[in-house]
A and B are shown apart, each in its own frame.
Chain A
């Protein structure tokens, strides 16, 4: 069985470092692939461009998606994912600074599985990541893989 990959879509290197640290502190030791903009995330998911060689069967177990991204924003990434058979059922947790009602609503409308606001307090962030990991990587029953 292949390793359960987490795809982190995040353009801010600080947030990337903090997220990785939070994952580690939460004892989530899954490999993390980082995409630094929306286009790269889609390339990775659909095995295009720099990720042409990637095996589609090794789809990530969980996508942590920031909304404000260069090139293609997070909501657009989400929309394209939900339109594609290959990624339609992939759990996506929106991880963002924004609590604007519109963003939350649109996030859920486009099929986000969770919506988490990144807290400033790092301890709280670690807590949130721990719970996310526990839920999506351990407790959650995945849909049966399509043949």
Chain B
């Protein structure tokens, strides 16, 4: 035989081995649930694949013995003889081939076996059997799972016509043994779990009726203790009354604390024993009402006399019915709302005081508007009358002084108006709606132009800008910001004002930009304070209230305002308005 022919045969044997292995795997998997059958399948498979007699030996639980689990030979008579000869388990202290293979974890292959050489290492029955059938080859492979020895598979050849056992046989047997070991281990686990379940089921079935009763009682007692613990620890007073006599049969800790009475003092007694007559009668009447209606009765507020004085309770009374629907108990749950009542009363007082203060403020604002302005009108009007009627009797200085009187009156009128607007921002209730900011801005610019026709100002107003807010207040914002831009560009030959939307910090923000006098960023923090001004009155007139008002309006809308500027380079005011309506 040439070398290549030999290797072709070798390859085809290996291929055949793989095919048999994969078939065996299926069978092993299917037999896993049935342990004895699995062992038989393993023995049969290995026997058919390599030949002839196959025995499966498994290590005992105490690891002292190798037990003969199953035998297979295609001649049942031989298998039977094997079973008869090999009844005794192999001690692990003996020097059998199986023990050696298992210890070393390596297969033992004896292609030319002579039983005479092993006579001393085997039992007389075994020796006799092997001699009789004419055993001529032996292969022992260990069964191991994750390095744990499980047992061995032993093959004995006696039929004529076999080629001597070789490496390929060892390899195929080894593969089969590995998978068999895994299947056996799984099957054992499964069998153990099944046995455990069976044991429990049997134990359950074996329980006597009285034991069952005892356990049921234990369960009920446990459930009761659990419920008791819950009731005991509820922070509200919980009590139970007998439905007929209305005496207390149960009380929790919160109840004891509330009343200042121990439950021993309460049990078996009624409301009449503890509370003033009228109060007890009220409680009893509500109890009867609850039991008669068979529904829960809610008593939102009831006073109760306790060791700590009068407390106020919110009580719910619930009838506890038996299976026939007859009330047997009355359950009461009372929450101590004394503190809450006090807090509510205080809150109500505070609200009333705040409302009164607000009304006062409104009355004050009204008289400020009316009463302070009318003397100013007189100051201005009569100064003007003087100028007109007696102007010729005054020199230039006198006329100038009268103009100063008039300008001051006007300035004070502006202050009053601005302060009123500022206070109105806080007082007015907002009516939110969608407001066309572009439209409002255009109207303001148009008005500014009519007052100062000589000014040259280019105003760029972005189209379609809308905001959600109070239209009057939003108008005040733009009035001030555009008015400021108009005012601070007044020293420019041609001023530029822009109103639009840009993105700042990842969110859209309105902006009003001008190229006027600007401001020093050092003082940016003071821009929005009341009466804070960054320019001298002689340069630009103003009250120092406008931006404070603007900020207040923007905050009221849930938005922010900030500014950027540089002296002589103009200013940009940015503001945001929370777009969604936040209801209190």
Q: Indicate whether A68 reaches chain B with its CB closer than 8 angstroms.
A: yes
Are B370 and A121 touching (Cβ within 8 A)? Answer: no
Q: Residue on B with the closest CB to A21?
A: B385
A14 touches B381 (CB 8 A): yes
**Given A120-B409, A120-B410, A120-B413, do A14 and B369 touch, yes or no (CB 8 Å)?**
no
**Interface 0/1 of A11-50, CB less than 8 Å to B:** 0101101100100000000000000000000000000000
Provided the pairs A14-B381, A18-B377, A18-B378 are in contact, do residues A121 and B369 lie with their beta carbons within 8 angstroms? no
Question: Restricting to A94-147, which residues have a CB under 8 Å from any CB of B?
Answer: 96-101, 118-123, 125
Residues of B near A18 (CB, < 8 A) are 377-378, 381-382
Report yes or no: B380 in contact with A120, Cβ–Cβ below 8 A: yes
User: In the assembled complex, which residues on chain B have CB atoms less than 8 Å from the CB atom of A99?
Assistant: 369
- Confirm or deny: B384 has a beta carbon within 8 angstroms of a beta carbon on chain A: yes
Asked whether any CB of chain A lies closer than 8 Å to the CB of B275, the reply is no
User: Hey, which chain A residues are within 8 Å of B385, CB to CB?
Assistant: 21, 122
CA distance A99 to B382 in the complex (A): 23
Does B366 reach chain A (CB closer than 8 Å)? yes
Contact among A14, A68, A98, A101 for B377, CB-based, below 8 A: A14
Residues of A within 8 A of B383 (CB): 122
In the bound complex, do residue A120 and residue B373 qualify as a contact, i.e. CB atoms below 8 Å apart?
Answer: yes
Q: A118-B377, A122-B381 are in contact. Are A68 and B370 (CB under 8 A)?
A: yes
> Which A-chain residue is minimally distant from B365 (CB atoms)?
A100
Complex CA distance for A125 and B406, rounded to whole angstroms: 14
A26 CB to nearest chain B CB (Å) = 14
Q: Which residue of B lies closest to A14 (CB)?
A: B378
Residue of B370, B376, B381, B409 near A96 (CB, 8 A) is B370
Asked if B15 CB lies within 8 Å of chain A CBs, one says: no
Which residue in chain A gives the minimum CB-CB distance to B416?
A120
CB < 8 Å neighbour of B374 from A14, A17, A121: A14
**Contacts of B409 on A, CB cut-off 8 Å?**
120
Instruction: State in angstroms the CA–CA spacing of A17 and B383 once bound together.
Output: 13
Selected from B365, B373, B406, the residue in CB contact (under 8 A) with A97 is B373
Give A78 to B378 CA distance when docked, in angstroms: 26
**Which residues on the B side are within 8 Å of A122 (C-beta)?**
377, 380-381, 383-385, 406
Instruction: Report if A100-B384 is in contact (Cβ < 8 Å); known contacts: A15-B378, A120-B413.
Output: no
CB-nearest residue of chain B to A67: B370
| CB-based contact A97/B370 at 8 Å | yes
C-alpha gap A16/B406 in the complex (Å): 19
A21 to B389, CA, bound (A): 12
Contact mask B357-394 → A, CB, 8 Å, 1/0? Answer: 00000000110011101111110111111000000000
* A68 to B371 alpha-carbon distance, docked (Å): 10
- Within the complex, the shortest CB–CB distance from A10 to chain B, in Å, comes to 10
- A-side interface residues, number (CB < 8 Å): 20
**Bound CA–CA A63/B565 (angstroms):** 52
A79-101 near B? 1/0 per residue, CB < 8 Å = 00000000000000000111111
Residues of chain A contacted by B370 (CB below 8 angstroms): 68, 96-98
Q: Which residues of A contact B384 (CB under 8 A)?
A: 122-123
Per-residue CB proximity of B388-432 to A under 8 Å, as 1/0?
000000000000000000100110010000000000000010000
Q: A68, A98, A120: which contacts B376 (Cβ < 8 A)?
A: A120
Residues of B within 8 Å of A97, CB to CB, are: 369-371, 373-374, 377
Distance (Å) between the CB of A16 and the closest chain B CB?
A: 11
Which residues in B have their C-beta under 8 angstroms from that of A100?
Answer: 365-366, 369
Measured CA separation A101–B383 after assembly (Å): 31
Q: Which residues of A contact B428 (CB under 8 A)?
A: 101
Are B410 and A121 in contact (CB-based, < 8 A)? yes
- Cβ-closest chain A residue relative to B417: A99
B370 to A, closest residue via Cβ:
A97
For A68, what are the chain B residues with a Cβ–Cβ distance below 8 Å? 370
Inter-chain CA distance A122–B377, complex, in Å, is 7
Q: Is the CB of A125 within 8 A of B369?
A: no
Closest to A12 in B: B374
Known: A97-B374, A120-B409. A21 touches B381 (CB 8 A): yes
Q: Are A125 and B366 in contact (CB under 8 A)?
A: no
Complex formed: what's the CA distance from A12 to B371 in Å? Answer: 11
* B366 and A121 form a contact (CB under 8 A): no
Q: Are B377 and A120 in contact (CB under 8 A)?
A: yes
A125 / chain B contacts, CB cutoff of 8 Å: 377, 381
Complexed CA–CA distance, A125 and B374 (Å): 12
Find chain B residues with CB under 8 A from A123 CB: 384
Q: By the criterion CB–CB under 8 Å, are A15 and B369 in contact?
A: no
- Collect the chain A residues with CB atoms within 8 Å of residue B378's CB: 14-15, 18
Cα(A118)–Cα(B369), bound, Å: 11
Q: CB-CB < 8 A to A121: which residues of B?
A: 380, 406, 410, 413
Q: Which residues of A contact B365 (CB under 8 A)?
A: 100
A111 to chain B, nearest CB (A): 22
In the assembled complex, how far is the CB of residue A106 from the closest CB belonging to chain B, in whole angstroms?
13
Instruction: Please measure, in the bound complex, the distance between the C-alpha atom of A12 and the C-alpha atom of B378, giving whole angstroms.
Output: 10
Bound-state CA distance A97–B378 (Å) is: 12
A18 to B365, CA, bound (A): 25
Are A15 and B366 neighbours in the complex by a CB distance under 8 Å? no
User: How far is A19 from B548 in the complex, measured between Cα atoms in Å?
Assistant: 35
Residues in A with CB closer than 8 Å to B373 are 97, 118, 120
Chain B residues closer than 8 Å to A14, beta-carbon distance = 374-375, 377-378, 381-382
- Cβ-closest chain B residue relative to A123: B384
Q: A101–B377 Cα gap in the complex (Å)?
A: 21
Which residues of A, 47-61, contact B by the 8 Å Cβ criterion? none
* CA–CA, A100 and B364, complex, Å: 12
Instruction: Please indicate which of the listed interface residues B375, B377, B409, B413 has the most CB atoms of chain A within 10 Å of its own CB.
Output: B377
Q: With A and B bound together, what is the CA distance between A120 and B377 in angstroms? A: 4
Residues of B close to A96: CB separation below 8 A: 370
List the A side residues contacting B371 at CB < 8 Å. 97
Residues of B near A118 (CB, < 8 A) are 373-374, 377
Which chain B residues numbered 427 to 477 have a C-beta less than 8 Å away from chain A?
Answer: 428
Identify the B interface with A (CB < 8 A): 365-366, 369-371, 373-378, 380-385, 406, 409-410, 413, 428
Sample (8) of A-B pairs whose CB atoms are under 8 Å apart: A14-B382, A17-B381, A18-B377, A97-B373, A121-B413, A122-B377, A122-B406, A125-B381
Other A-B pairs beyond A15-B378, A100-B366, 14, CB < 8 Å: A14-B374, A14-B375, A14-B381, A15-B377, A17-B381, A18-B382, A97-B373, A97-B377, A98-B369, A101-B428, A118-B373, A118-B374, A120-B376, A121-B380
Shortest Cβ-Cβ A-B pairs, 5 listed: A120-B413, A14-B378, A18-B381, A122-B381, A122-B384
